[in-house]
Structure 1
């Protein structure tokens, strides 16, 4: 069955790979990213790419208006967009911390809130977190803002699943380990992750389509190593 799927953070990495894979399966995709050109250049007939700064209220409303005008409902929302910051705590700039939370927490809260009227009982909201946000996991210096923002998304997911458990939709969160993306290469030059963006994109896309049949309000740790 073909689904209407909204994905954020689609200009590169995991999000970009998910757009290609899910479109190939015939689903209708709304791809949201500040840079829409990589997806637009794919020229896929069942994909709409919108330039969307998720930190901007007006731009989120633009995306929601597309849903309102073109789709009756949203079957899957994948909150994949993320902003990474590696910054020693002593040298922390609060404007940078606020930007991390704007993208990783507030935009997820806002977009999910505004998409909510278009979600059905059997819709699935899938949030993408990080192993760094999991309590008790290995932590790394310099990631206070990033990892704590990803921890917030885990609790946010659990709370919404509880609030909507009677009538849906379902909410789950995946905490990803290291994935070979441009963002990882920029943050940790020379480090080679054991999983490619295409491999992780395939896993997430499949879970987004089927995971809510088995899980609700669950954190799944998607990592083949520790950390």
Structure 2
């Protein structure tokens, strides 16, 4: 059984993944600013505490946990994200920075904290978006969100190159629309083709086996074109 860290676990895909991994017997550290939904599960295989990716203190708590409790981390899933749907000229500097603080800087900080506890066989999976893929269909209002998701695609490629000798493996999944609370908040009334549970099931299996076939790769998990 593996030791799994999932960020953004209070709802949507992250919440469903935490349950799926734990029900299969894996040890899960489920991280989110709001830990109440995970605590309510009262699952013996899930550990949680309030966690803000942008907090240096919370990153220290994460470091202390994995250093004292787990000998190693097998899978890190950078799932936490912030979606802002707002015309570019109306986005304040503070709002733009907030999106990057979660979607880029937070991803980098968590990964940097966890990497020393990962072996060559480990797998870092970062969740991006089809909106961040060059040449894909773009939507007005997503300048901050989609550009931040493009950044972690390149970041993943760079990590794979830098750590290719000693590991772990790094891959990034660009997701199409998934019916989550975050999507509903940004696009009220829109119906996505996939549920959070369906996507969580796919990501769970990929995180456990995908590093046998891929490293430094972007995989587009979407049935739409382009």
Q: TM-score, normalised to structure 2's length?
A: 0.99
Long gaps (5+) in structure 2 = none
Cα-to-partner distance string for 1:39-71 (whole Å, 9 max, x where unaligned): 111010010011001111111111121111100
Report matched runs for 1:21-40 at 5 Å.
21-40=20-39
Indicate if the aligned counterparts of 1:50 and 1:63 stay in contact, CA closer than 8 A: no
Aligned to 1:204, what secondary structure does the other structure show? Answer: helix
Q: TM-score, normalised to structure 1's length?
A: 0.98
Partners of 1:86 and 1:185 in 2: how far apart?
A: 11
Measure how far apart 1:226 and its partner are: 2.7
Report matched runs for 1:51-66 at 5 Å.
51-66=50-65
Residues 1:149 and 2:148 are matched in the alignment: yes
Residues 1:91 and 2:90 are matched in the alignment: yes
Report matched runs for 1:60-209 at 5 Å.
60-209=59-208
Aligned to 2:41, what secondary structure does the other structure show? Answer: coil
Partners of 1:141 and 1:98 in 2: how far apart?
A: 18
* Alignment RMSD: 0.7
Cα-to-partner distance string for 1:157-207 (whole Å, 9 max, x where unaligned): 000001111221100000000000001111111110010000000000110
Measure how far apart 1:90 and its partner are: 1.2
Measure how far apart 1:116 and its partner are: 1.1
Partners of 1:136 and 1:195 in 2: how far apart?
A: 22
Partners of 2:223 and 2:92 in 1: how far apart?
A: 33
Long gaps (5+) in structure 1 = none
Aligned to 1:84, what secondary structure does the other structure show? Answer: coil
Indicate if the aligned counterparts of 1:172 and 1:217 stay in contact, CA closer than 8 A: yes
Report matched runs for 1:202-221 at 5 Å.
202-221=201-220
> What is the number of residues matched between the two proteins?
226
Partners of 1:90 and 1:113 in 2: how far apart?
A: 33
